[in-house]
């Protein structure tokens, strides 16, 4: 069966690692028609937006995308392409596995965690009020009137919406994921003891939905305690389900347990569309040097192959990555080797053929 897939190379090291992932997918023999769509800094310069409508249209046609990292400058008004994609396509669930591969240094060998993160609400919803803006003055006056709280004149404000509707669907996804993949249990992370009307909604809704899945072991844990267990005994956790911001942080922490962001894949999923991408950023400091680690996006491509019901090909790619890392002879500098990006891709492609 031939699959149409939108390929968004991104910027920084994105084009290099995207080329590597494409080579590996093509080597599996799965027939993919790639629709390459530029987004990010180059599109901003040429088209006035980092996320042109043509990119969204392509993903809506193909329903599946593989995406390289895209730079979001810190503190600028530049809208994150990653966040925009998730919101425009309603990709409400982020799935980020953290699996240790023999051969990679780790204080916790054998870790096999999955972070499932609500992807469209919380502080990342982008409801922000800039310090000194007229809208912020009006918000400050309203909060003083409604809650008796005086926001400092020099404060910026970000609003944290968490809804029952948004939470229900990601909880159902997480519990069904656990069932499909034979996971042991799901731990709901939160800070509902402090944020009773946002995190409180997330926790209460998760526990309510869990009653519909009596065969799944569902637990709850405050996110600061979860961070402690991840640093101390991460094997005591299995699938963790979190609101947006916590999920972003915890998934990066989990990647650090198994060898770093260079081996951390990810997927952003909705009822209609799916976008697969590595967890790491665009690393502009090494862009163009051919030394970027392509393993994370290659593992993301394996997740994409499973999504396309190409399970045998996905298993070959994952087994090839495991063999490459175990052997240790063809690794990029971040993993202690001297190989170049396409050398790693070529070695994985040969093993996955």
Cβ atoms of 90 and 118 closer than 8 Å? no
Strand order in the sheet with 274-276: 31-36, 2-8, 64-67, 274-276, 267-269, 93-99, 112-118, 239-242, 186-190, 218-222
The verdict on whether 137 is a catalytic residue reads no
Q: Which of 57, 137, 153, 224 is catalytic?
A: 224
Give the whole-angstrom CA distance, residue 291 versus residue 187: 37
Task: Count other C-beta atoms under 10 Å from residue 163's C-beta.
Answer: 14
Catalytic, 153? Answer no
Contacts of 101 (CB under 8 A, 6+ apart): 258, 259, 263, 321, 322, 325, 326
Does the annotation count 196 as an active-site position? no
Say which of 11, 35, 248, 334 is annotated catalytic. Answer: 248
The encoded tokens of residue 263 equal 């081996």
Reply yes or no on whether 224 is catalytic.
Answer: yes
Residue 79, CA distances (Å) to 40, 82, 88 in order? 10, 9, 13
d(CA 39, CA 52): 7
Instruction: With residue 52 as reference, give the H or E element that holds it.
Output: none
Catalytic residue, chosen from 90, 191, 238, 252, is 191
CA distance 5 to 168: 29
Q: Compute the half-sphere exposure of residue 326: CA atoms within 13 Å on the CB side of its CA.
A: 10
Both tokens of 52, joined, read 């042109």
Query: Could you tell me the sign of the dihedral formed by the alpha carbons of 177, 181, 182, 185, in that order?
Result: negative
Say which of 35, 124, 273, 334 is annotated catalytic: 124
The closest of 107, 111, 100, 113 to 326, measured between CA atoms, is 100
Do 282 and 10 contact (CB within 8 A), yes or no?
yes
- Hey, which residues are catalytic here? 124, 191, 224, 248
């Amino acid at each position: 069966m031939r699959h149409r897939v939108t390929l968004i190379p991104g910027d920084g090291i994105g084009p290099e690692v995207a080329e590597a992932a494409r080579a590996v997918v093509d080597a599996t023999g799965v027939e993919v028609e790639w629709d390459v769509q530029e987004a990010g800094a180059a599109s901003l310069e040429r088209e006035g937006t980092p996320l042109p409508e043509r990119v969204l249209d392509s993903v809506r046609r193909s329903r599946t995308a593989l995406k390289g990292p895209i730079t979001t400058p810190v503190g600028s008004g530049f809208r994150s392409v990653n966040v925009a994609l998730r919101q425009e396509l309603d990709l409400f669930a982020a799935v980020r596995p953290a699996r240790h591969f023999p051969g990679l240094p780790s204080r916790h060998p054998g870790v096999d965690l999955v972070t499932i993160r609500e992807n469209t609400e919380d502080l990342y919803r982008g409801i922000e009020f800039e310090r000194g803006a007229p809208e912020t003055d009006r918000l400050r006056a309203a909060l003083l009137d409604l809650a008796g709280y005086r926001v400092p004149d020099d404060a910026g404000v970000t609003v944290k919406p968490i809804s029952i509707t948004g939470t229900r669907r990601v909880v159902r996804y997480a519990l069904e994921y656990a069932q499909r993949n034979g996971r042991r249990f799901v731990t709901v992370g939160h800070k509902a003891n402090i944020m009773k009307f946002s995190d409180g909604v997330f926790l209460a809704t998760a526990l309510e939905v869990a009653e519909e899945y009596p065969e799944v072991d569902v637990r709850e844990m405050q996110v600061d305690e979860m961070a402690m267990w991840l640093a101390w005994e991460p094997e005591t956790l299995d699938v963790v389900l979190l609101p947006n911001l916590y999920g972003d942080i915890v998934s990066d922490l989990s990647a650090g347990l198994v060898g770093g962001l260079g081996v951390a894949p990810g997927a952003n999923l909705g009822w209609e569309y799916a976008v697969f991408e590595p967890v790491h950023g665009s690393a502009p400091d090494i862009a163009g040097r051919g030394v970027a680690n392509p393993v994370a996006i290659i593992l993301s491509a394996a997740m994409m192959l499973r999504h396309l019901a190409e399970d045998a090909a996905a298993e070959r790619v994952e087994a090839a990555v495991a063999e490459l890392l175990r052997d240790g002879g063809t690794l990029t500098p971040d993993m202690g080797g001297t190989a170049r990006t396409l050398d790693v891709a070529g070695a994985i492609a040969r093993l996955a053929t």
